[in-house]
Amino acid sequence: MRGRVLCMLSYSWSGTCGSRSSTLPNRDQTWSSRQSYGDQKKKKKNSPAPAQETPAIAIAIAIAMALASSTSLCSPPLPCPRLRRRYSAAAPTVTASATTQRSDENIVIVGAGVAGLATALALRRLGVGAAVLEQGATLRAGGTSLTLFKNGWHVLDAIGVADELRAKYLRIQGMRMRSPAAGGRDLREFSFEEEAPGQEVRAVERRVLLETLASKLPPGTISFSSKLNSIAEQGPDGTLLELEDGRQILSKIVIGCDGVNSPIARWMGFSEPRYVGHMAFRGLAEYADGQPFEPKVNYIYGRGVRAGFVPVSPTKVYWFICFNRQDPGPKITDPAVLKSEALDLVRGWPSDLLAVMHSTPEGAVVRTPLVDRWLWPGRAPSASRGGRVVLVGDAWHPMTPNLGQGACCALEDAVVLARRLAPAASGGTNSIEAAMRAYEAERWSRVFPLTARAGLVGTLVQWENPAVCAVRDGVVIPRLVRLGPFLEHTNFECDLIEPTPQSPCP
């Protein structure tokens, strides 16, 4: 059975990127004229997503994937020889400031999140300048932390910021799994050193990650309070971006790093991300006098609810709860309500988890519906459009956080795109369109299986059925899970990008 499932999936993933633009809506449609596109979206909502059409298979796959050994479907791509090329430096190409009413740019990156800043920095180190537009008045100050695995660290090494972050955040040594149904006792404990040698896991504060990336860009690169309002093709001249405050920017290349609700992806014909039926609470606990925990990821599995916590630094501990809910319901903004709702979900659970949650300032708790979008071959639009617009990170492939890979993959995208684009954008022989297509081909085979795997693992670990949970707690976790093969998706090689003399990074 497992072999059959693996074959089926291998088959579906062997598709090429060739004909994927067929489902695009009218390409002349601008984002500002979205009315008819909005109607299309409503119709699409009524037809179930492919992942929902085959629940039995999905469940079987989830088991196969979760237990996958070295033959894992999601075994990572081999280091691509093309990634090893070194490109000559080129002069920065930014030509005008975005503060004028109408300006021209060579490259505009929309969104100063992980993807946008990492892309800007990787391009910068390759000698190519880009302007970054961010809707917020500052970098995202909220948010809790992101657990980054070795693939994320390899990218941070490549763009020269890893050591600065390593100095602030603890290296996680292993993983502990428990169940409240089993009286909170350990189901399994893993050591990364023994089970997955070479793995590097650290949780970093999102705010600090963003600030560190931004600090390496030339002053003025990021234009804050610059919300993209509409986007329209302007033929060979490029793409016209109109901001909320009326400014217009004509850009030869637009890189959409505008996150999970990306307006650029919508304009390119992507469907809305799909709510997967569970939500997450996250928080960051503070211990001014030092936190007391071993550097381990702690997971606690209940029925339809799971929680965990990870020491981040000597004074901070990140925690999360994932819980099933038919629909996300109204947004809750009251911090006290958020915290008490979170505590209600895990009443009676192990006391260390509850202590971490109680040590969390009220404003440091967030609740997020979990969504994803599977890039089915032949159904999903292309990640680039006409050699002028391309998507990176969540804007292209939102995935559930069950593998802790969304930001790691956004970082991977950033270096792959920068290495493809930099030579073309600095007047090399390859066309920009070819560079974007090569990026998409290389990344699609990585991000589509990962998105699927993350979604299916979520289905598995969120099960409520008592019998299934008993098998999970009694057999699957204690006897079958193997950490090394399970983490094979974190294999990603990436050479350093040395800054060019023309683009020294602070």
Ligand X SMILES: Cc1cc2nc3c(=O)[nH]c(=O)nc-3n(C[C@H](O)[C@H](O)[C@H](O)COP(=O)(O)OP(=O)(O)OC[C@H]3O[C@@H](n4cnc5c(N)ncnc54)[C@H](O)[C@@H]3O)c2cc1C
CB-wise, 136 or 335, nearer to ligand X?
Answer: 136
- In three-state secondary structure terms, 125 is helix
C-alpha angle 280-457-114 in degrees, rounded to nearest 5: 55
Q: Does 160 bind ligand X (CB under 6 A)?
A: no
| Residue indicated by tokens 């969390």 | 360
- Stretches 14-22, 80-88, 389-397, 466-474: which one binds ligand X (CB under 6 A)? 389-397
The one among 58, 109, 111, 389 contacting ligand X by CB under 6 A:
111
Name the H helices within 126-268: 150-158, 162-166, 192-195, 206-215, 263-267
Amino acid identity for residue 464 in this structure? E
Q: Which residues pair with 307 in a beta bridge?
A: 300, 321
- Stretches 133-141, 246-254, 383-391, 433-441: which one binds ligand X (CB under 6 A)? 133-141
Q: Which residue is nearest to ligand X (CB)?
A: 113
CB of 145 to ligand X, least distance (A): 7
- Residues 183-242 within binding reach of ligand X (CB under 6 A): 227-228
Q: Does 63 bind ligand X (CB under 6 A)?
A: no
The one among 105, 157, 258, 372 contacting ligand X by CB under 6 A:
258
CB of 116 to ligand X, least distance (A): 6
**CA-based Rg of the chain, rounded to a whole angstrom?**
22
Of the candidates 306, 288, 393, 316, which has an alpha carbon nearest to the alpha carbon of residue 350? Answer: 306
CB of 245 to ligand X, least distance (A): 11
Q: Does 280 bind ligand X (CB under 6 A)?
A: yes
User: How many residues sit close enough to ligand X to count as binding (CB under 6 A)?
Assistant: 35
Which helix (H) or strand (E) segment holds residue 351: the answer is helix 351-358
Q: Does 276 bind ligand X (CB under 6 A)?
A: no
Identify whether the C-beta of residue 170 lies closer than 8 Å to the C-beta of residue 314.
Answer: yes
Q: Does 408 bind ligand X (CB under 6 A)?
A: yes
Instruction: For residues 54 and 108, give the distance between their C-alpha atoms in angstroms, rounded to a whole number.
Output: 40
Structure tokens at 50: 């492919």
Q: Does 110 bind ligand X (CB under 6 A)?
A: yes
Of the candidates 116, 377, 121, 404, which has an alpha carbon nearest to the alpha carbon of residue 262? Answer: 116
CB-wise, 64 or 447, nearer to ligand X?
Answer: 447
The one among 205, 233, 372, 394 contacting ligand X by CB under 6 A:
394
- Within 10 angstroms of residue 363's Cβ, the number of other Cβ atoms is 13
CB of 187 to ligand X, least distance (A): 21
- In three-state secondary structure terms, 491 is coil
Q: Does 127 bind ligand X (CB under 6 A)?
A: no
Q: Does 283 bind ligand X (CB under 6 A)?
A: no
Q: Phi then psi for 305, rounded to 5 degrees? A: -140, 135
The one among 410, 421, 424, 494 contacting ligand X by CB under 6 A:
410
Q: Does 116 bind ligand X (CB under 6 A)?
A: yes
Residues of this chain that bind ligand X (CB under 6 A): 110-116, 133-136, 140, 146-148, 227-228, 257-260, 263, 280, 282, 368, 393-395, 401, 404-408, 410
